[in-house]
Structure 1
Amino acid sequence: MQNKIMELFNLFDWVVPGCLGDREHFRAYYDEPLKQGQRLSAPERFVQVAHTRKKHLVSVLKKFLLRRTKEETIGHLMLGKEDNIVFCKMSAVQKRAYRRMLQQPDIQILINKDLRCSCGSPLPQVECCKKTEPNGIIWSYLHRDSPDGCAMCPFCLVLPCLVKLQQISNHLELIKPNPKDEVEKQKKDAELAAAVFGTDIDLVGGSAKSENFMGLSDSEHCGKMRALERLLSLWTQQGDKILLFSYSVRMLDILEKFLIRKGYCFSRFDGTTPMNARQSLVDEFNRSPSKQVFLISTRAGNLGVNLVSANRVVIFDPSWNPAQDLQAQDRSFRYGQRRHVTVFRLLGAGSLEELVYSRQIYKQQLSNIAVSGNIEKRYFEGVQDDKKFRGELFGICNLFRDLSDKLFTSEIIEMHGEHGKGSETEATGIREIVDTDLFGSQENRKSSTAATDTDNQNKSSTVATDTDNQNLVDLGIVYAHRNEDVVNMGKKNGDEDGTEETVQSSSEELQSKHETKHTVKAKSSSLENRKVVKYDSLEQKRKEFSCVASFMGMDDLNFSKWLLAASPVQRSEVLQKYKMKKKRKCERNQN
């Protein structure tokens, strides 16, 4: 399941026709209640109905679905992963270009579609005189062969306008003409770029595609590249290996020039890479210590590639489909990984990319609820495919909102106070990320051989972290949090004890979100305590696993393979025998 709960029905109905009823039954009995129950202000009865339907759906799926995740099977053998979401401040030129794009006639006709028509008719503009926009640069190009418009007008403009906003959020060079396009499209793109750049056109090298190497590789006018520049510098000094993902081939070209300018040794993998050369590139990166960065297309390299030598993953631009970004991360977070993996997803703060990520949260939560039976926190008012509850996520007006002066995501998730109250509040999430991910990585890498480091090392790490944290803030990283602190928060369906209480407490907590504010110090302290507990628990599980493996006369690897092949009955028998032996040993020691 990647985008909608109905995808689950499509898959199961194809494999086992009729196992989930017909389409309308599934939609009415499962799909709608689960979505309505996840709404932030949903009545308590909706939440309870959603909880009941969720349990029923999971019980039905168990009859046909055998699902084994890494966390459930070989999680104790994995070295771990942290998924960090980093919000980078757009440059001043990017912000101005973003606002000018929102003011273009092509977008304004979409924003104002529901307003009453100016001709005096009671009908909205979209049903009266404003179906077409001849003055729009994008509209005029799309309808160059049909000046009266098309049957979809003006909604045919939605996708092209979204693409332009994403390009501006990513890098200003992307909105310029692509030499591979037809001549007429290049002219229209140049015209649109000139309108969007306005008085800043000379700062970005004009409206035509730049061939200037120094200009393309410069990070001055791209907020995310400024942050990336600093992160790469820190990581390469520590001997880390980095995977750098982008879904745009043109963005990969820009990043390639940036890496060349900075002197990094890198490889590249995209859709144009010959099939017979791909595995050799992967093997070379895993084998060679001199290879520092692997530049990869998110769509071409997010499946079937094992890059276990990398311990840093950067997702430069978010995808609408959360599964693509998650699959990209798992190129290094997989069996055989050599070090703890840290993921940094870079987002343009106050841009469309924030909304893309918020929808990713929503989709991930629906998937966890429907497939795994998790209890997820309710952050959003929006309900997918429901025009009555578009909330802050859905609908055309939300897509084309001006978010450039606010942090949309932080306001919803409430991991910080209001944006702009002070550098201490804004930097807190960054400090938590930097403390453990930039300078704490060395401890993670050595934890298996040097579990007890001296206090002096920790103190020096903290001092370095504070300095570097300020540098990152200066470079425009305004907010950060961990994705696992937002998604996958609740108990799984199998934890029956206290389930109802969890639902109730989750509801009360979220409905009173504007009444309780935790201090920055308390949040930081609780986060550190949670990390220590999680680390101790993981170490304990690993030791216990090794003890059971020794009891069976196997090493950890062979015992793991045996577990995957063993039946539940065989596993239970081994566990009972091990516990009995452990109990007898304790009794002998007491005597």
Structure 2
Amino acid sequence: MANNENTEEIITIDSDDDDLEVTHYATPTTSNRFSGVKHGADTPFKSEPSRTLLSGSSSAVKIQPVDSDEEDANDGELAYKKFKERKSLKRKQTAAATRKAKMPRGDPIVGRVKQERPTPLPKRPLKQWGEVSSEDELMENTLPRYLKIRRSQFDRKYEHLQDHGLKLPPTYEDVDFSDDERLEELQERPVFPINTRKQDYKDIELPYSMGIIPAPIAQWLRQYQVEGVAFLHELFVYQKGGVLGDDMGLGKTIQVIAFLTAAYGKTGDERDAKRMRKMRRSDDSVWYPRTLIVCPGTLIANWKSEFARWGWWHVESYHGENKDLALDAAKSGRVEILITTYTTYMNNKDSVNMIEWDCVIADECHKIKERKSGTTQSMNEINALCRIGLTGTAIQNKYEELWTLLNWTNPGVLGPVSTWKAQISEPLKIGQSHDATLSELSRARRTAKKLVENLLPQFFIRRMKSLIADQLPKKIDRVVFCPLTETQAEAYENFLDSDIVDYIKTSTEPCECRSGKKSGWCCRRFIPDRDPPNWQSYVFPAINVLQKLSNHLAILIPQGVDPKEKQEKDRDYLELALPEQWEDLYRSRDSIVNYANPEFCGKWKVLRKLLKWWHSNGDKVLIFSHSVRLLKMLQMLFHHTSYNVSYLDGSMSLDDRAKAVDEFNADPRQFVFLISTKAGGIGLNITSANKVVVVDPNWNPSYDLQAQDRAYRIGQLRDVEVFRLISAGTIEEIVYARQIYKQQQANIGYNASSERRYFKGVQEKKDQKGEIFGLKNFFGYQNTNIVLRDIVNRTNVAESRAGVQVVDIDLQAEEEGYDYTDRPMKSEDEAMSQIAAMICGEDEDKKDHKPSANLPTPHKHDPVQAILASAGVEYTHLNNEVIGSSRVEEDLSRRAELAPNDTTGDRQVFMSSQPFSQPTGEPVRFKYHPPEDVIRRQFCSMARRFGYADATEFALVVEGMTQAQRRACLDKWYRERREVLLSADQNTSEEEWIKDENIPKEEMDVKGGWIKDEKGPKEES
């Protein structure tokens, strides 16, 4: 918000700033690693939050109304206007008076005696955000009154009692345990095999929260898990909230149980089973914690088994037929841990919230990522001050999801979501565009660092799976772009040519009537002969049809068991896609022949060959799809083969799902496990499998990542291969490209990483749709062209070109405060050599024409690649090579951050053409789209440069390169082209240079990918 001179801007938020400024004390009194805020200051749960408007400012101008009968009489229009508005004004005055009369009534509670409101603590005014809207509303303004009262009481208690007002572990000094006399004989948990790796057997003290992790548990925890336990227990003691965002497979459940062990003051032996009962019998006024865990239904059994493995706990589940008995036990203090599901809680929130929970743990808390969803709104009312979220995917689609999670844990502390969008989301998204300017990139990188280094550590911690790399085998995440069959391609194009898609695609174009409106809101609002007629009704169904066509044509055929209305709709879409075959297909709609038809599914051609190979090698395979119908089709097909098949989808009970998993893990004869992506993506441990196939990409990348982790987790003994099948040129490419986009955004939000900037589009920016956003991109077909390959290659080239431009960074290193080496630079040539080593990873002699050491030799026969090639696959890549940063991107980001705020900030980082000057002063520009014959000549030159006998041999090598190796190759090539051009006029004549480089005389203006124009620079697009 802009500051006006002499105007007081109130920036404070009515929130509990103790999350930012808590004061801790050293043991034996508690101390806090956070700095700044005193407990008892304004909290996010204040009982009467309000927005204080600015007043008394010297710059405030009061506009007095004109009060002149003469003016009114002389102005007939004004008099008439006042006459027309008299009733409206009267209604507004009446409504205002009614609101004023209702205000003193407060918040009456039926059936209860209203308690006197305690004297409110001093409050600071809220930041003035302008007009209040749904995005400007702070969550604490809508919190239930019982939460506001609880927060006020806790703050006052801490203010008066200091450490004694905190939720420190219960003391058992006055409780007699008969087992104390036989401590050495007491059983302890957990119990693992003797050869299991463990730490020293000793208690671990948590100095910031006066907690203790008992030795029986502490010996099995890794250091990062101890740190997680300390983080969680500190939140509990100070009744704050936070998110444990560790990557999947790092033991978030174990960290929670260890933290609860410390919070309950347990010792990890048999005595823990008696603590709750003895405390309840000793004195009803003695505090003993009560914890609620909310999780997906598939995880209830896992939580119970883990509690039983790691200690002695009284755990009940509030789910199913006997849930009321469990809730009654929790109310009476006979339960330590109550577990429920999100749906069960949402449907029974009033009953659950009658209990004052000391801690609520939301497992897979990304379930509440949508700010306006019913689940999130219900969870906002949960009766607990300490709110802890567990998720490995806090950012799945956009940065606002992270705000929603953090705002649930600490309501109001982060301010309204509108501010989060303006200060965090927008800069990060715009700066990640391929066409970002220097200033946009600079702001994005600075914002990411502030977010990760300053803001998030107070509420959010995340560790990556690399911490346990020593316990895991290798994982290869391969993306396979499968061609459509001829029948599929024909059906796909037919549907795109339909009137439905035509109206959708042209809806945002200017209307032909020249009204200035978009056609979809003018003359083309309705599709003739369609019911309903408005084109908007067909957007999502049409996208769904394209996804079905990309997967398997048989999915589009109506099912006989479907309702008649649905069959008619599906039949209409089938007719649009296959106008000559739809009648025959409809008549045989339930025939297995349609499922097995190889012309109906290009992916099936690939999958069938892979399965045959894996079966002969004794592998076990997980096949995930979000289409249950496709899974059932595959199940029916496999029943006619020698493959033993297991199956799991959302229609199965939790017990049946667990049974299917156990049978697959235990029986080595079970070969394929067909699993619904959403139903089986979390909570399942299927480490007996070592191959994972994701048949169709999901819009949300976390679903596909979680599916992989069913096999790739602790306990896996074999290397894991993941195959993501993408139909080339179809909407599935857009879906997968958006997965990349979202994964990159998440990495930026978690780690402030300098992700490679592939895409020109910006999410939710109407004027920057780029290649992956907007309806036109959804409803296009590239036929044999693989869009993502072109995007990746374009970025490789752009980075290589930009890499040539950053060769002077060391020449200003001293001025910019950045060094690549400790020794001073002696010359520009030395700087050039150093940057070459940095980019290419090695020093090389460009005159040595032996095959380059950093290029792969012709690769050995790879049976998987051979299988894919035989199925018509032209392009694959490894997902982990596409996600992440590059050295050039890191350098560009660093330079953008250090760049001065001048006019150069408006220049694009990846310019469409980037000029430089030869020694003669003639400008030369890169030619990005040269003719095909020039491309072929350049490729032959590259082959000779890197020491290969012919271009074919070099092509085979390039085909087997990883993305990183291709980037290194391009970096080297373009850098050397630049050096040759810069030295050409100094050392040799143009004719000699052309002769040395084996370039034909007639192509003398084309030099290694660079073009020179006597009249000035030019570029061919």
TM over 0.5, yes or no?
yes
Choose 510-519 or 97-106, whichever is displaced more: 510-519
Which residue matches 2:500? 106
What is the rounded CA distance, in whole Å, between the counterparts of 2:599 and 2:481 in structure 1?
17
Distance 1:175 1:236 in 2: 30
Segment of structure 1 superposing worse, 221-230 or 254-263: 254-263
Partners of 1:358 and 1:50 lie apart in 2 by 21
* 1:154 positional shift: 2.6
- Among 58, 61, 65, the residue aligned to 2:456: 61
Residues 244 and 415 of structure 1: CA distance in aligned 2, closer, same or farther (over 3 Å): farther
Q: Conserved in 2, the CA contact under 8 Å of 1:379 and 1:510? A: no
Structure 1 residue 360 corresponds to structure 2 residue 360: no
SS of residue in 2 equivalent to 1:300: helix
**Residue 451 of structure 2 is aligned to residue 70 of structure 1:** no
CA 1:498 to 1:111, structure 2 compared with 1: closer, same or farther past 3 Å? Answer: closer
Shift of 1:507: 5.4
For residue 274 of structure 1, the aligned residue among 653, 667, 673 is 653
- What letter corresponds to residue 860 of structure 2 in structure 1? T
CA change 1:529–1:364 in 2 (3 A) is: closer
Q: State the match for 2:631 in structure 1.
A: 252
Partner letter of residue 298 of structure 1?
T
Give unpaired runs (5+ residues) of structure 1. Answer: 144-148, 419-458, 531-591
Map residues 211-222 of structure 1 onto 2, 5 A cutoff.
Answer: 211-222=590-601
Question: Secondary structure in 2 aligned to 1:370?
Answer: helix
Q: Could you say if the C-alpha distance between residues 510 and 250 of structure 1 is closer, same or farther in structure 2, counting changes exceeding 3 Å?
A: farther
Matches within 5 A, 1:18-37: 18-37=412-431
1:233-312 aligned within 5 A: 233-312=612-691
Query: How far apart are residue 220 of structure 1 and its match?
Result: 3.2
- For residue 341 of structure 1, what is the amino acid of its counterpart? V
Query: C-alpha displacement at 1:521, in angstroms?
Result: 5.8
Q: Report what 2:128 is aligned to.
A: none
Aligned CA distance change for structure 1 residues 473 and 70 (closer, same or farther; 3 Å) = same
Partner of 1:414: 793
Alpha carbons of structure 1 residues 417 and 17: separation in structure 2 relative to 1, 3 Å? closer
2:555 corresponds to: 174
User: Residue 489 of structure 1 corresponds to which residue in structure 2?
Assistant: 885
* Partners of 2:482 and 2:872 within 8 A in 1: yes
| Partner secondary structure for residue 681 of structure 2 | coil
TM-score normalised by the chain length of structure 2: 0.43
Q: CA deviation at 1:522?
A: 6.2
SS in structure 2 at match of 1:251: helix
What letter matches 1:235 in structure 2?
W
8 Å CA contact 1:87–1:348 kept in 2: the answer is: yes
Aligned-partner SS, 2:489: helix
| CA 1:85–1:61: 2 relative to 1, 3 Å | same
Q: Distance in 1 between matches of 2:603 and 2:727?
A: 7
**1:469-519, CA deviations, whole angstroms, 9 ceiling, x for partnerless residues?**
44432312121000000012359xxx9x99726989x95699889489887
CA gap of 1:525–1:200, structure 2 versus 1, over 3 A, is closer
Tell me, yes or no, if the aligned pair for 1:79 and 1:339 is still in contact at 8 Å.
Answer: yes
Structure 1 partner of 2:518 = 124
Does structure 2 conserve the Cα–Cα contact (< 8 Å) formed by 1:85 and 1:483?
A: yes
The 3-state SS of whatever aligns with 1:245 is strand
Deviations 1:57-85 (A, max 9, x none): 0021012112233223x122111211110
Match of 2:267 in 1: none
Q: Distance in 2 between matches of 1:358 and 1:160?
A: 21
Alignment of structure 1 residues 141-152 onto 2, 5 Å: 143=532
Whether 1:227 and 2:621 are equivalent positions in the alignment is no
Secondary structure class of the residue paired with 1:299: helix
Aligned 8 A contact 1:116 1:124 in 2:
yes
**Could you tell me which amino acid in structure 1 is paired with residue 873 of structure 2?**
I
Cα distance 1:382–1:71, how it changes in 2: closer, same or farther (>3 A)? same
Higher helix fraction (1 or 2): 1
Whether 1:12 aligns to 2:406 is yes
In 2, are the aligned partners of 1:377 and 1:510 still within 8 Å (CA)? no
Q: Could you tell me which residue of structure 1 aligns to residue 705 of structure 2?
A: 326
Checking the alignment, whether the CA contact within 8 Å between 2:762 and 2:770 is kept in structure 1 is yes
Alignment partners' CA distance in 2, 1:169 and 1:528 = 26
Q: Structure 2 vs 1, CA of residues 415 and 222 (structure 1 numbering), >3 Å: closer, same or farther?
A: farther
1:311–1:221 distance in 2 versus 1, CA, 3 Å: same
* Pairs within 5 Å for 1:330-341: 330-341=709-720
AA partner of residue 746 (structure 2): S
CA distance in 2, matches of 1:173, 1:276: 31
Contact 1:190–1:208 (CA<8 Å) still a contact in 2? no
Query: 1:52/1:115 Cα in 2 relative to 1: closer, same or farther (>3 Å)?
Result: closer
Is 1:159 the counterpart of 2:555? The answer is no
Deviation at 1:187, TM superposition (A): 2.1
Contact 2:558 2:589 in 1 (8 A): no
CA distance in 1, matches of 2:569, 2:408: 44
CA contact (8 A) 2:559 2:590 kept: no
For residues 95-140 of structure 1, what are the alpha-carbon distances to aligned partners after superposition, in whole Å with 9 as ceiling and x for unaligned? 010011111211111111133434564433212221111334xxx2
Which one is further off, 318-327 or 76-85?
76-85
Counterpart residue number, 2:24? none
CA RMSD of aligned residues (A): 3.3
Q: 1:475 aligns with which of 854, 857, 871?
A: 871
| d(CA) in 2 for partners of 1:503, 1:313 | 41
Q: Secondary structure at the match of 1:343?
A: strand
2:860 corresponds, among 448, 453, 462, to 462
SS of 2:874's partner is strand
Unaligned segments of structure 2, at least 5 residues = 1-394, 798-856, 899-907, 915-925, 930-937, 943-953, 966-1021
Cα distance in 2 for residues equivalent to 1:305 and 1:472: 29
Residue matched to 2:284: none
Q: Which one of 756, 761, 775 corresponds to residue 382 of structure 1? A: 761
Question: 1:406 and 1:186, CA in 2 relative to 1: closer, same or farther beyond 3 A?
Answer: same
Matches within 5 A, 1:510-589: 514=928, 520=955, 523=958, 527=962
Residues 505-547 of structure 1, C-alpha deviation per residue, up to 9 Å, x if partnerless? x9569988948988756656864998xxxxxxxxxxxxxxxxx
The CA distance in 2 between the partners of 1:289 and 1:510, in whole Å, is 56
How many equivalent pairs are there? 470
Change (3 A) 1:353 1:193: same
Deviations 1:409-448 (A, max 9, x none): 1110119999xxxxxxxxxxxxxxxxxxxxxxxxxxxxxx
Residue number in structure 2 paired with 1:428? none
**Distance in 2, Cα, partners of 1:180 & 1:217:** 20
Contact 1:84 1:344 in 2 (8 A): yes
What SS class does the counterpart of residue 460 from structure 2 fall into?
Answer: coil
* Corresponding residue number in structure 2 for 1:448: none
Identify the residue that residue 574 of structure 1 maps to in structure 2: none
Mark the CA change 1:99 to 1:369 in structure 2 (over 3 Å): closer, same or farther.
same
Separation in structure 2 between the aligned mates of residue 254 and residue 11 of structure 1, nearest angstrom: 38
Percent of aligned pairs with the same amino acid: 35
The answer (yes or no) to whether the contact 2:648–2:657 under 8 Å persists in 1 is yes
Correspondence for 2:191: none
Note if contact 1:91-1:221 (Cα within 8 Å) is conserved in structure 2.
yes
Bigger RCO of structures 1 and 2 (CA < 8 A, at least 6 apart): 1
Give TM-score, length-normalised by structure 1: 0.73
Query: Residue 529 and residue 323 in structure 1: after superposition, are their counterparts in 2 closer, same or farther (change >3 A)?
Result: closer
Q: Once the 2 structures are TM-superposed, how far is the Cα of residue 207 of structure 1 from its aligned partner?
A: 2.8
Q: Which residue of 1 aligns with 2:487?
A: 93
Which residue pairs with 2:88 in the alignment? none
Which residue in the other structure is 1:567 paired with? none
1:112 maps to a residue whose letter is T
